[in-house]
């Protein structure tokens, strides 16, 4: 967000460049760009940023933000950008303005009930708190309970949020089971509520089984 807003302040009076965007890849690199306005539908800053990231060799993107010129601050993506992000980076988090400040929203929340292109060439991402890195790496932790998230069996990259070295592991989701909050151990359920404060008492959950890819 800060990078996008800072870049937006440098935009001059050229009406063809009025929005800045920044995207962070899985290695913690930030790629920035501006829009190219044209009456026939020039690319938004978010789409240009995707191209810049691809040029730098980035394959998986974690977060994206856009900001307008002339002090407009953080702005949400348009419908076209939302669809592109959902198709190409279905697990990306998008910075949007909220009543009490910026929010990070999963892209699927910004485009509900939309068509999802299942054959889009993209790797999936599953996020963990950084404290689980060693347990996942060693194979001690091989399952996780998730609420209000979408995951699929198949190849995935496990990202450890807040890790100082932007640690991530390649692996796969091997199975997904449905469960409910009431079926969990009370102590575990209480901990899960700390992670998902808005989770209702009758929440339907996913038990996601996974494994880390080991070097041959």
- Report, as residue numbers or ranges, the catalytic residues: 46
Contact 126, 142 (CB under 8 A): no
The Cα 57–Cα 45 span in angstroms is 19
The Cα 31–Cα 101 span in angstroms is 23
DSSP track, 1-24: -HHHHHHHHT--S-TT--EEEEEE
E strands along 35-106, which residues? Answer: 61-68, 73-74, 93-96, 103-106
Q: Please name the residue ranges forming H helices in 60-176.
A: 79-88, 107-110, 133-138
Contact 90, 119 (CB under 8 A): no
Please state the separation of Cα 129 from the chain's center in Å: 14
| Nearest-10 Cα torsion for 25, 130, 188, 90 | 0
The Cα 96–Cα 73 span in angstroms is 10
The Cα 210–Cα 4 span in angstroms is 35
């Amino acid at each position: 967000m800060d990078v996008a807003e800072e870049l937006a302040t440098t935009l001059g009076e050229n009406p063809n460049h009025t929005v800045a965007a920044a995207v962070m890849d899985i290695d913690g690199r930030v790629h920035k760009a501006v829009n190219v306005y044209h009456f026939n539908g020039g690319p938004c800053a978010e789409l240009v940023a995707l191209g810049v990231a691809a040029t730098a060799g980035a394959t998986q993107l974690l977060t994206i933000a856009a900001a307008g010129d002339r002090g407009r601050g953080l702005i949400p993506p348009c419908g076209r950008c939302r669809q592109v992000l959902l198709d190409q980076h279905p697990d990306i988090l998008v910075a949007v303005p909220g009543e009490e400040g910026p929010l990070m929203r999963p892209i699927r929340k910004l485009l509900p009930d939309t068509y999802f292109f299942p054959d889009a060439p993209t790797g999936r991402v599953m996020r963990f708190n950084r404290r689980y890195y060693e347990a996942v790496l060693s194979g001690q932790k091989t399952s996780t309970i998730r609420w209000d998230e979408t995951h699929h069996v198949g190849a995935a990259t496990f990202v450890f949020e807040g890790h100082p070295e932007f640690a991530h592991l390649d692996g796969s989701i091997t199975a997904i089971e449905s469960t409910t909050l009431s079926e969990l151990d009370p102590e575990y359920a209480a901990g899960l509520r700390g992670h998902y404060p808005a989770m209702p008492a009758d929440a339907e959950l996913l038990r996601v089984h996974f494994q880390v890819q080991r070097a041959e």
